[in-house]
Structure 1
Amino acid sequence: MDAVVIGSINVDLVVGVDAMPGPGETVLGQSARYQVGGKGANQAIAAARQGARVRMVGAVGTDAFAGMLTSALREAGVDVAGVTQAKGPSGTALVFLEPGGQNRIVVVPGANAALTPEGVERAVMDLDAPRDMAVVVQNEIPPDAVLASIRAAHRRGFRVVWNAAPPAQVPVGVLGSEDVLVVNEAEASHLAGKPVVDPKAAREVAAQLLALGPGLAVVTLGDKGLVAATRRGTIQVPAWPVEVRDTTAAGDTWIGAFVAAWDGGEDVIQALRYATAASALCVTRAGASDSIPTRAEVEAFLRAHPPSQIFS
């Protein structure tokens, strides 16, 4: 096992709109489709499509979507032994997709709220896995389950990748020097208490986030690339210019690709670049989990495009 992803599994209802409605206003949508989503599921699928051996720990409901969700994970190569079933609806996300690829998302937790500290701790402690395995968590499951996952990972000697999204406070000292904290510009702004709108501001905030405990802090900036901070300094990786069709799952693709590359033995800079290329490919396609590229596709993209310059 290369990675265990502990997080949300959702069914997404994606609605294409020309413009978002105002208060009391009704607008006509251009399209509607159901798809597999949730930060946890997307990240697990992204890592698996890069060739990593991944187990998903999460919950689906007892509704008609449960079978579709677990089947999609299994078909992507994800081990679903850690996926349980909770009475009631599965997690649901309403995704409004505007022209230009920007999205607005409302998440209803559903079965994701059934994950307990005891359950996730048992799932981690029972793993038969090497010490260099990564445990990946996000904030679409209950906060106490997130913290329990991290504590259990540390007891086993596993490294943690925490995608603090949706934004929430990261307690000082929860993460250790072998761990990674990943946020986008909005989440970085929340943690820092000030706007993060460009690479200069991101460099300052990424360095500040190291004070929370991780050995690597990453601030992703969409079409501006990313900034990462380590104890040795900061690294800036520009994004590849691509035609954006849909930004849904771009951040999750980045996380999964980074985990697959980093835990697979590549150095940090190469893993950052690889994940950025995977995310660039993702936004050129419509959809959530179905827009996530494979390792072969990412490698072909990297061969066809000169590597983005790295600024230290």
Structure 2
Amino acid sequence: MSKREFPAVTVVGSINLDIIATADRLPAAGETIGGGSLHQQSGGKGANQAVAAARLGGSSRMIGAVGDDAQGRLLLEAMASAGVDTADVAVVDDATGTALIVVDREGENQIVVCPGANENFSLDAVEFGANETVLCQLEVGLPVVLEAARRSSGYFVLNAAPAMDLPAELLERCDLVIVNETEYALIPALAQAKLVAVTYGKDGAAMFEHGTMVAEAPASAVTVANTVGAGDAFCAALVLALRHGLDYPRALAVANAVGADAVGDPSSQPDLAQLRHYLERTEAAADSAR
């Protein structure tokens, strides 16, 4: 499948090294538990989404920052090897962003993000095309996200995570906002947004226009290995599907299928099939349900 089948996506966001401890269960406040295993991998919501877009068959560009250190070089190499254009990733005099993650045997997690270089870059030298699709999250400074919204004249998407109050200017600029059900409840202003996609885990996903549900799609059954990165894969898939011209129910179904594959993979940047595979899979499922 040619990458030209799908529009280019430019991701403005975080690039982190994920340090992951896996244990039977998550610790309670003040509790120490043993028996865990430790590993590290590439992560950051921005990088996860850029890599997912590339692996799904889109043309993906990453805008963000890493530190001038071994971790930063490792993350740049990982993105480039996945097919992401990293020419606009700044290398700054700060530590590369790091996420400390604890994952239990059910795939649930607790995460603390140390932003480092993610808080130390600007868009001064970055150009956005007139019809460019831009995808942002909130793991970088809000001023950078606002600047991206102001400078982008194409389709602008915000994954409003982690949840925070959103300036009216930013919300009005968004063609699409993507959140999970917790974030949707924590950001009341989203009830007035023009278009919001909300994920509900095992209960699927829905699309809202100005607070009114206009489409929904069920989740796919899956064995959970790791929920870290699954929402990011969903975001990339939904943006590509919508920009490819799919209607809301079909786009949600495709994104749910991608998210299901991501949940079943232990990596924050899981291997994914080309988006055409998920289009065909969801179409076959719809035909069999008729």
Q: TM-score, normalised by structure 2?
A: 0.89
Return the letter of the residue paired with 1:103. Answer: N
Please give the alpha-carbon distance, in whole angstroms, between the structure 1 residues aligned to 2:69 and 2:125.
26
In structure 1, what is the equivalent of residue 221 of structure 2? 241
Matched, 1:53 2:59: yes
Return the letter of the residue paired with 1:120. Answer: L
What pairs up with 1:267-278 in 2 under 5 angstroms? 267-278=247-258
Please give the alpha-carbon distance, in whole angstroms, between the structure 1 residues aligned to 2:52 and 2:288.
24
Cα offset for 1:219? 1.1
Cα offset for 1:292? 4.2
In structure 2, what is the equivalent of residue 90 of structure 1? 96
Give the direction of change, closer, same or farther, for the CA distance of 1:285–1:300 in structure 2 (3 Å limit).
farther
Whether the aligned pair in 2 keeps the contact of 1:91 and 1:112 (CA below 8 Å) is yes
Unaligned ranges ≥5, structure 1: 193-207
Matched, 1:306 2:279: no
Identity rate, percent: 35
Give the direction of change, closer, same or farther, for the CA distance of 1:121–1:268 in structure 2 (3 Å limit).
farther
Return the letter of the residue paired with 1:270. Answer: R
In structure 1, what is the equivalent of residue 111 of structure 2? 105
Matched, 1:253 2:268: no
Whether the aligned pair in 2 keeps the contact of 1:121 and 1:148 (CA below 8 Å) is no
Return the letter of the residue paired with 2:220. Answer: W
Please give the alpha-carbon distance, in whole angstroms, between the structure 1 residues aligned to 2:190 and 2:288.
24
Unaligned ranges ≥5, structure 2: 1-6
Give the direction of change, closer, same or farther, for the CA distance of 1:309–1:60 in structure 2 (3 Å limit).
farther
Whether the aligned pair in 1 keeps the contact of 2:65 and 2:91 (CA below 8 Å) is yes
In structure 1, what is the equivalent of residue 197 of structure 2? 218
Return the letter of the residue paired with 1:186. Answer: T
Return the letter of the residue paired with 2:104. Answer: E
Count of matched residue pairs: 282
Question: What secondary structure is seen at the aligned counterpart in 2 of 1:56?
Answer: strand
Please give the alpha-carbon distance, in whole angstroms, between the structure 1 residues aligned to 2:287 and 2:96.
40
Return the letter of the residue paired with 1:139. Answer: L
Question: What secondary structure is seen at the aligned counterpart in 1 of 2:93?
Answer: coil
Whether the aligned pair in 2 keeps the contact of 1:5 and 1:55 (CA below 8 Å) is yes
Whether the aligned pair in 2 keeps the contact of 1:239 and 1:308 (CA below 8 Å) is no
Whether the aligned pair in 2 keeps the contact of 1:253 and 1:292 (CA below 8 Å) is no
What pairs up with 1:48-87 in 2 under 5 angstroms? 48-87=54-93
Please give the alpha-carbon distance, in whole angstroms, between the structure 1 residues aligned to 2:62 and 2:287.
32
Identify the range of structure 1 (16-25 vs 242-251) with the bigger mean alpha-carbon deviation: 16-25
**Given the alignment, which residue of 111, 120, 123 partners 2:123?**
120
In structure 1, what is the equivalent of residue 13 of structure 2? 7
What is the alpha-carbon root mean square deviation over aligned residues?
2.5
In structure 1, what is the equivalent of residue 148 of structure 2? 149
